[in-house]
Chain A
Amino acid sequence: MKLPDLTELAVRNLRESLLRNSLTTIGISVGVASLVAMLSLGIGLQQLASRRLMKSGLFDTVVVTSRRDLRNFNREEERSGPAPGESRILDEPTRTEIERLPNVVEAYPDIRFITELRYEDKPHLTTVAALPASAKSNDAFEGVQGHFFSSDVAPEAILQKTFAEELLGRTPKPGLDETKVAELAAPLLGKELTMRYAQREGQSSAAKTAAENASNLRSEGLAGAAYSVISREQKLKIVGVADLDPESMRGPTRARVFLPLKLAESLHVMQPTDLREISRSAGGQPVYSSVSVRVKNPGKIQAVEDAIKKMGFNTFSILDASRSIQQFFKVLDVFLGIFGSLALAVAFIGIVNTLVMAILERRREIGIMKAIGASDGDVKKLFFAEAGAMGILGGIVGVALGWAIGQIINLGTNVYLKRQSFPPEHFWSVPWWLVAFAVLFSFLVSLAAGLYPAGRAARLDPVQALRYE
Chain B
Amino acid sequence: MGGVEAQNRATALDSPNDPAPVIQLEELCRHYRMGKTLIRAVDGVTLTVQAGEFVALLGSSGSGKSSVLNLIAGLDRPTSGNVVVQQRNLAKLSREDLAKYRLHTVGMVFQSFNLIASMTLAENVELPMRFAEVVRGKRDRLASEALARVGLQGRMKHRPSELSGGEQQRAALARALINHPQLLLADEPTGNLDSRTGTEIMNMVREFNQQLGMTVIMVTHERALAERYAQRLIYLADGKLVGDESNSTAPAPNAAAPAGTDGVPR
A and B co-occur in one complex: yes
Per-position 1/0 for A356-386, Cβ under 8 A of B: 0000000011011111111111100000000
A135 at the interface (CB under 8 A from B): no
B253 CB, nearest partner CB in chain A, Å: 26
B213 at the interface (CB under 8 A from A): no
Q: A373-B104, A375-B99, A376-B96 are in contact. Are A368 and B131 (CB under 8 A)?
A: no
Asked if B130 contacts A5 (CB within 8 A), the reply is yes
Give the bracket for the number of chain B residues in contact with chain A: 20 to 34
A241-300 contacts to B (CB < 8 Å): none
Asked if B132 contacts A373 (CB within 8 A), the reply is yes
Q: A377-B96, A469-B112 are in contact. Are A372 and B132 (CB under 8 A)?
A: no
Given the complex of chains A and B, what is the CA–CA distance between A368 and B104 in angstroms?
Answer: 15
B102 at the interface (CB under 8 A from A): yes
B127 at the interface (CB under 8 A from A): yes
B146-178 contacts to A (CB < 8 Å): 175-176
Residues in A with CB closer than 8 Å to B136 are 4
Residues in B with CB closer than 8 Å to A374 are 99, 103, 131
Asked if B131 contacts A371 (CB within 8 A), the reply is no
A463 at the interface (CB under 8 A from B): yes
- The A interface is mostly helix, strand or loop, or mixed, namely helix
Chain A, Cβ-Cβ closest to B71: A463
Contact among B102, B110, B116 for A370, CB-based, below 8 A: B102
Asked if B99 contacts A376 (CB within 8 A), the reply is yes
B95 at the interface (CB under 8 A from A): yes
Q: A1-B131, A2-B133, A371-B73 are in contact. Are A13 and B118 (CB under 8 A)?
A: yes
B97-118 contacts to A (CB < 8 Å): 99-100, 102-104, 108, 110, 112, 114-118
Residues in A with CB closer than 8 Å to B70 are 463
A61 CB, nearest partner CB in chain B, Å: 66
A92 CB, nearest partner CB in chain B, Å: 82
Chain B, Cβ-Cβ closest to A13: B118
A451 at the interface (CB under 8 A from B): no
Given the complex of chains A and B, what is the CA–CA distance between A238 and B126 in angstroms?
Answer: 88
Given the complex of chains A and B, what is the CA–CA distance between A469 and B112 in angstroms?
Answer: 8
B258 CB, nearest partner CB in chain A, Å: 25
B140 at the interface (CB under 8 A from A): no
Contact among B112, B117, B127 for A369, CB-based, below 8 A: B127
Per-position 1/0 for B71-105, Cβ under 8 A of A: 00101100000000000000000011001101110
Asked if B128 contacts A375 (CB within 8 A), the reply is no
B209 at the interface (CB under 8 A from A): no
Q: A371-B75, A372-B128 are in contact. Are A466 and B110 (CB under 8 A)?
A: yes
Asked if B131 contacts A373 (CB within 8 A), the reply is yes
Given the complex of chains A and B, what is the CA–CA distance between A363 and B165 in angstroms?
Answer: 22
Q: A373-B102, A373-B131 are in contact. Are A368 and B96 (CB under 8 A)?
A: no
B80 CB, nearest partner CB in chain A, Å: 17
B96, B99, B175: residue with the most chain A Cβ atoms closer than 10 Å: B99
Contact among B99, B114, B115 for A373, CB-based, below 8 A: B99
A12 at the interface (CB under 8 A from B): yes
A21 CB, nearest partner CB in chain B, Å: 13
Residues in A with CB closer than 8 Å to B73 are 371
Residues in A with CB closer than 8 Å to B119 are 12
Contact among A9, A372, A376, A469 for B175, CB-based, below 8 A: A372
B17 CB, nearest partner CB in chain A, Å: 28
Residues in B with CB closer than 8 Å to A372 are 102-103, 108, 127-128, 131, 175-176
Chain A, Cβ-Cβ closest to B126: A5
Given the complex of chains A and B, what is the CA–CA distance between A373 and B130 in angstroms?
Answer: 10
B63 at the interface (CB under 8 A from A): no
Asked if A368 contacts B75 (CB within 8 A), the reply is no
Chain B, Cβ-Cβ closest to A378: B131
Q: A16-B118, A372-B102, A375-B100 are in contact. Are A463 and B76 (CB under 8 A)?
A: yes
B190 at the interface (CB under 8 A from A): no
B179 at the interface (CB under 8 A from A): yes
Residues in A with CB closer than 8 Å to B179 are 373
Per-position 1/0 for A130-156, Cβ under 8 A of B: 000000000000000000000000000
Chain A, Cβ-Cβ closest to B103: A373
B108, B127, B130, B132: residue with the most chain A Cβ atoms closer than 10 Å: B130
A162 CB, nearest partner CB in chain B, Å: 73
B77 CB, nearest partner CB in chain A, Å: 10
Chain A, Cβ-Cβ closest to B114: A368
A462 at the interface (CB under 8 A from B): yes
Residues in A with CB closer than 8 Å to B175 are 372
Residues in B with CB closer than 8 Å to A364 are 114
Q: A12-B118, A373-B99, A373-B103 are in contact. Are A1 and B76 (CB under 8 A)?
A: no
7 closest A-B pairs by CB: A373-B103, A375-B99, A373-B102, A5-B130, A368-B114, A372-B128, A462-B75
28 A–B pairs (Cβ distance < 8 Å), ordered by A: A1-B130, A1-B133, A4-B136, A12-B119, A13-B118, A367-B114, A369-B131, A370-B102, A371-B102, A372-B102, A372-B131, A372-B176, A373-B99, A373-B100, A373-B103, A373-B128, A373-B132, A374-B99, A375-B99, A375-B100, A375-B131, A376-B99, A377-B96, A378-B99, A378-B131, A462-B75, A463-B70, A466-B75
Supply 17 further A-B pairs (C-beta < 8 A) apart from A369-B116, A370-B102, A376-B99.
Answer: A1-B130, A2-B133, A367-B114, A368-B114, A368-B115, A371-B114, A372-B103, A373-B104, A373-B131, A374-B131, A375-B95, A375-B96, A375-B100, A377-B96, A378-B99, A378-B131, A469-B112
